[in-house]
Homo-oligomer: A and B are copies of this chain.
Amino acid sequence: MSCVGVDIGGTNTKLVRIEDGEDPVARHEVATPREVEAYEHTLAGAVAAVARGGSPIEAVGFSVAGLVDERRTIVQAPNLPFFEGVDVAAPLRQRDPEPALVVENDVNAAIVGEQEWGAGRGCRDLCMLSLGTGVGGGVIVGGRLQRGSHGLAGELGHIVLDHDGPLCTCGLPGHVESYLSTAAIVERGRRALREAGDRGAILRRHVDREGEASPRVLAEAAREGCPVARDVLAASGRWLGLACANLTHTLQPDRILVGGGVSQAGELLLEPAREEYEARLMRAVRGSVPIVRAELGVDGAAIGAAVLARRILDERPA
């Protein structure tokens, strides 16, 4: 049995194929088409490419950077507006035999990937925050991905940390995303640099070359010893720690995973996050739930989508 995961991202679409009981065996990547007709054509070719040399495809899972409701429709996708309202699995529905199909939000898919092959192995209860252009989330309880009553559980980027805080891209104030998206961190870096004087020399040199204080640039400057870059990542980490404390007071999962591009700053982000996190937990809860970096990186969502597809087959009555 072979299952394919298709992760439709704002820039690239990644595919993986998994075979029964093996680690993911094939990967393929294409530019995400910008309109629906091109998408159908591209999808067919990409699925054929990733399927080559494997057993017949029995199930395909799609992962999308957007809100996917209980009817598996994409109801909101700021980075993929041409996919809103579209059934991304449609081009595969005419196949004979029709594969099992599922559509899922990308971080919901990613947390399932981590549960199966990554930092969440062996965990029954997991939360994940994915820090990138937006801040996505996923929740697993009792081993199962939680979709909520209408498919929209796990929107952990939209938890309030300050009722009166800066506006989120969704238009509401003080959400996790408004402190921890790439744009929020870039802006934090810009402000810090403006006030830094000579302390910011290393970071300034990087920013002059790269254009902005992206999380990657901040991490590079911090590793070269720049105290300002280090402070900006630490301040970001403290917001992350606060967000994680809310998750632990709500669900006390086995672990909280942190993924997404911003997480590449690694311990520069996670160490201050853990410190703030433990300080923000009630005494009796401290030390009970570790914050761990996700392991599968950019492939996580595609892998998770393939796993979700396989689970449909596993759960079908024999």
Contacts and interface: CB of A to CB of B under 8 A. Distances in A.
Interface of A: 67, 69, 75-76, 125, 137, 139, 141-142, 144, 146-156, 158-164, 170, 172, 242, 245-247, 249-254, 280, 282-285, 288-289
B160 A161 contact: yes
B154 A250 contact: yes
A151 B248 CA distance: 11
Contacts of A160: 161, 242, 245-246, 280
> What 9 A-B pairs come out closest when comparing CB atoms?
A148-B252, A153-B252, A155-B249, A141-B141, A158-B249, A150-B288, A75-B284, A149-B254, A76-B284
Nearest to A127: B250
A288 B249 CA distance: 23
Contact of A170 (B161, B246, B282): B282
16 contacts: A76-B283, A139-B250, A142-B142, A148-B253, A149-B252, A150-B252, A152-B284, A152-B288, A153-B250, A156-B249, A156-B250, A159-B250, A162-B162, A170-B283, A250-B250, A250-B251
A188 to B, nearest CB: 15
A137, A283, A284: most-surrounded residue (chain B CB, <10 A): A284
A242 B163 contact: yes
A148 B127 CA distance: 12
Contacts of A289: 149
Given A142-B142, A149-B289, A252-B152, A282 B158 contact: yes
A162 B159 contact: no
A288 B70 CA distance: 11
Contacts of A125: 146, 148-149
Contacts of A67: 282, 284
Q: How many copies does the complex hold?
A: 2
Nearest to A66: B284
Contacts of A252: 147-153, 155
A142 B139 contact: no
B246 A155 contact: no
A70 B232 CA distance: 38
Given A161-B160, A172-B280, A149 B253 contact: yes
A231 B184 CA distance: 35
A251 B161 contact: no
A217 B250 CA distance: 31
A162 B161 CA distance: 6
Given A250-B250, A282-B155, A288 B161 contact: no
Nearest to A179: B163
Given A156-B249, A162-B164, 10 more contacts: A141-B142, A149-B288, A150-B285, A152-B282, A152-B285, A155-B249, A156-B250, A160-B246, A170-B282, A172-B282
Nearest to A124: B149
Contacts of A288: 149-150, 152
Nearest to A68: B284
A108 to B, nearest CB: 12
